[in-house]
Structure 1
Amino acid sequence: MLAVRAVQRRSLVEQATSELQRLLASGEWPVGSRVPGELALSKQLGVSRPTAREAMRALVAIGQLETRHGVGTVVVSATPLPALEQSLRRAAIAEVYEVRAGLEVEAAKLAARRRTAEDVERIRAALAKRDAAASPVALVEADLEFHTAVVAAAHNDVLSEVFGSFLGALRSAANDLVADAGLRTRAELEDSDGAHRALADAIADGDVDAAAAATERNVHTTLERLRAES
């Protein structure tokens, strides 16, 4: 008697991801081409916009798509990224986050001591934009705006200059991070959101210790996961 395998139900995200991979493998979406936006893609696939977004994130995570600021999502490979290359990419993100941890913890403490009412207003506005972000690209840009506002509130010109020169590397690493669906659970993502709100509150309250703790909670949790996965 032939062995019969149980039929497995696949989620809509899995089905959408498979269809996108078919388009890539067949050459219908050639390397270098720009893929449709989330709204257009969701209509073409017959799924919700969040489902289309998660399918694209899955392909970014395995190296077939790449999200580029000011451009959109672009095809970079017809085949998935080998496991070794994915591990190396995660290790590279971890190195950026090691530098980020040192800069941002000190910036948070200084900001809690030196912030002005205008600084707090700018941080709150950036936080609101971050909470409202509807795409990975928008989330990264709003997150960078938030942390830039925190650094500015530290009122240290050298720190601002160093952080500014670091933004390019940070943007690239952050885009890779949000695209790598396997790195963070939904609970960890929600905890990161909470850490950002706690940081804004601590700076507004002038609480140096709480500002440092919130920054460490945000950066170090991600850093430890990156070290474990690379």
Structure 2
Amino acid sequence: MPLATTRRTGLVDQVIEQLRLLVTSGEWPVGSRIPAEPELVDALGVGRNTVREAVRALAHAGLLEVRQGDGTFVRATSELSGAVRRLCSSELRDVLETRRALEVQAARLAALRRTDEELAALADTLRRRDEALTARDWDSMVRVDTDFHAQLVACSHNPVLIEVYAGFTEAVSASVATGVDMDNAAPCVRHVSHDALLNAVRDRDPEQAAREAGGFLDEQLDRLGMSGEA
């Protein structure tokens, strides 16, 4: 996605929007280093101060991270996601507790509201997740496991819950990855099965779905010394 020369009104806001679009569209993926300041100045046709102010604003919003002497990197794809990533990096327990609050209610609603098509999609995703786990393909396992939980939330048909969880996805992925021993396949990863959760959603049993959704997160919280409430 090429950068376009900006108009001479509202320059900082225009630059912020162009840079934000490059991030949210995936043109600049999370973890990548964005072009250096002189390149941005030339591409945008604005002054250094305008570029610096725009980058500073996006860094404050959590989308970018300025590393002194190393450059500026993409930190997250949205302001909410950026805030969550800061939380995730500092406190796994907080992330797991938040996941529990969101996913337990999502599972309860999914059991009541899911469609047959959504149930089939959940089953397919869970099958691919288990295949990746068996193959010790950890990157795929983390990605597909995260997709499974996002799909489950989507089955709630609650637009606010879905939107909040979408901003939380990167933290979910990070918390899933913390349970994966890339070299030895840690037992805590091996025995985590979502079959019972899927079955409860299939059987339209909201309370069992809620218990299953909270159960494996409670186990992780127990290992951190603070379990959730049933």
Q: TM-score, normalised by structure 2?
A: 0.54
Cross-structure match for 2:113? 114
Contact 1:91 1:227 in 2 (8 A): no
Q: Secondary structure at the match of 1:192?
A: coil
Mean CA deviation greater in 216-225 or 157-166: 216-225
Q: Secondary structure at the match of 2:157?
A: coil
State the shift of 1:210 in Å: 1.1
Determine which of 192, 197, 200 is the counterpart of 1:199.
Answer: 197
Q: Deviation per CA, 1:169-226: give whole Å up to 9, x if none.
A: 22223223314889x962x434411xx1000110011011110111121111111112
State the shift of 1:129 in Å: 0.7
More helix, by proportion: 1
Counterparts of 1:101 and 1:147, CA distance in 2: 11
Determine which of 117, 128, 143 is the counterpart of 1:141.
Answer: 143
Matched, 1:92 2:91: yes
Which residue identity does 1:124 align to in structure 2?
A: A
Unaligned runs of 5+ in 2: 1-87
Q: Which has the higher contact order (CA 8 A, sep 6+)?
A: 1
Q: TM-score, normalised by structure 1?
A: 0.54
State the shift of 1:94 in Å: 1.6
Cross-structure match for 2:154? 152
Contact 1:101 1:219 in 2 (8 A): yes
Which residue identity does 1:152 align to in structure 2?
A: A
Cross-structure match for 1:132? 131
- In angstroms, what is the RMSD of aligned CA positions? 2.5
Cross-structure match for 2:103? 104
Which residue identity does 1:95 align to in structure 2?
A: D
> Which ranges of 4 or more aligned residues in structure 1 deviate by more than 2 Å?
179-182, 188-191
Counterparts of 2:168 and 2:94, CA distance in 1: 12
Contact 1:91 1:226 in 2 (8 A): no
Cross-structure match for 1:28? none
Q: Percent identity of the aligned residues? A: 34
- Counting only pairs closer than 5 Å after superposition, residues 142-181 of structure 1 correspond to structure 2 as 142-179=144-181
Which residue identity does 2:200 align to in structure 1?
A: A
Determine which of 205, 212, 216 is the counterpart of 1:214.
Answer: 212
Cross-structure match for 2:36? none
